[in-house]
Amino acid sequence: MARADELAAHSEQPGGLTRVSLSPEYRAASERVMGWMREAGMTARLDAIGNVAGRYEGERAGLPCLMLGSHLDTVRDAGRYDGMLGVICAIECVQALHSAGRRLPFAIEVLGFTDEEGVRFGVTLLGSRALAGTLDPALLEAKDRNGMTMAEALRGFGLDPARIGTAARSRGELLAYAELHIEQGPVLEAEGLPVGVVTAINGYTRMRVSIEGTAGHAGTVPMALRRDALAAAAECVLAVERAAASEPEVVATVGRLEALPGAINVIPGGARFTVDVRAPDDARRLRAAARIEKEISSICARRGVALASERTQEQGVTACSPWLIERLARAVEGEGLRVRRLPSGAGHDGMALQTIADIGMLFVRCANGISHNPAEAIRAADAAAGARVLLRFIEEFRPRELQ
Ligand code: HGY
Ligand code: MN
Ligand code: MN
């Protein structure tokens, strides 16, 4: 708990937590995490995209690894456990093995991923996709809100964008990937459970929409002659909400909305907003996304404003592997806890890692299911339960072919 508090202090936001990738705050948090890893008997380094990579050797050097971890970047005005708890608990588990002088028939790696949230450059899972070798090099030209490209941010961080490819790991190096994460939803709390085993990670579609109307004097242009981009966007936001409500278990969010030029006495000539659509079923998600695009385009046509809408990211449902679900369930039972399997509404790095390893996830209860909010909170007892289950999972883990 103290370590989560310590990492929360590395923030660009006075009085709150915002830590985007490749920032000075991210550097400070990375250094601290590498220190904890070394104390726990691991080697620790930054890889070519800025992931923190810790390694605890097995019975002999160079064995394939069970990879653990989570992300070290945060959303804006974030909670202090989303991501960080998984990295801290994994380090605690290795610390326990190291203190007992234990070596296992496989290595353990703990990854603190950079840019899982996609806050800085608008695209998620950058660190885990670089590790999986699936990062599109064109993203090096993606710009942050100050117009700095990822390539420039990497150079500013002391990394060489040309070496991004060296972050990639091959399938043979990983026996599995297992991530502990707060649930970020209300199920475990509603059922009085400290931990849960994740069955699948919901898919998502992300869009960027911009509307062009006509800027004008707020005092002189009659209502009937206006092409108000923000009024059109406001109608679109409600259409997004309606489209999601029309499909079971689909959720859709407009998280950012900007009026341009943004002056009190200027009719907005421009409006930009984002759309995030999620569902446990890809067909339903794609139906809802198509309906949103159709409604937005008819609203803009009726209002005579120009529309540009693009899908910036599409990720199907990611299933956790049954054998890892079973192993995690057995570890939960081994700790005397009831097993609860549940899907994840939130996205996670396992969505990227599934291309090179089977994935499993363990959820820890969080207060009122609140997350992406400074009120995010967990009980120390639940963090301890999660860490104990993870340690039991690690100690009982054997590579699949050795079953
Ligand atoms: O957006 C998500 O689902 C995750 O928090 N990156
Ligand atoms: Mn998050
Ligand atoms: Mn997260």
- Our answer on whether the CB atom of 346 is closer than 6 Å to any ligand 1 atom is yes
Same fold, 2-201+317-402 and 203-315: no
Inter-residue contact 136 to 96 (CB < 8 Å):
no
Quote the CA–CA distance of 194 and 333 in Å, as a whole number.
12
The ligand placed nearest to the CA atom of residue 318 is 1
Beta strands at 65-71 and 107-113: parallel, antiparallel or unpaired: parallel
Report CA(226)–ligand 2 centroid distance (Å). Answer: 39
Atom number of ligand 1 nearest to Cα 372: 5
CATH architecture entry for 203-315: 2-Layer Sandwich (3.30)
In tens, the pLDDT along 334-390 reads 999 999 999 999 999 999 999 999 999 999 999 999 999 999 999 999 999 999 999
Quote the CA–CA distance of 208 and 16 in Å, as a whole number.
27
Give the single-character DSSP code of 192: T
Inter-residue contact 89 to 389 (CB < 8 Å):
no
- Our answer on whether the CB atom of 116 is closer than 6 Å to any ligand 1 atom is yes
In tens, the pLDDT along 46-100 reads 999 999 999 999 999 999 999 999 999 999 999 999 999 999 999 999 999 999 9
Q: Is the pLDDT of residue 403 over 70?
A: no
Average pLDDT of the chain to the nearest whole number: 97
- What's at 136, amino acid-wise? D
Inter-residue contact 49 to 167 (CB < 8 Å):
yes
- Our answer on whether the CB atom of 213 is closer than 6 Å to any ligand 1 atom is no
- Our answer on whether the CB atom of 349 is closer than 6 Å to any ligand 1 atom is no
- Our answer on whether the CB atom of 124 is closer than 6 Å to any ligand 1 atom is yes
- Report domain 2-201+317-402's class: alpha beta
- Our answer on whether the CB atom of 117 is closer than 6 Å to any ligand 1 atom is yes
Share of the chain above pLDDT 70, in %: 99
Ligand 1 atom 2 nearest Cα: 347
Quote the CA–CA distance of 183 and 346 in Å, as a whole number.
8
Quote the CA–CA distance of 351 and 66 in Å, as a whole number.
17
Domain assignments of the chain as residue spans, ordered by start: 2-201+317-402, 203-315
Nearest CA to 296 out of 350, 243, 366, 374 is that of 243
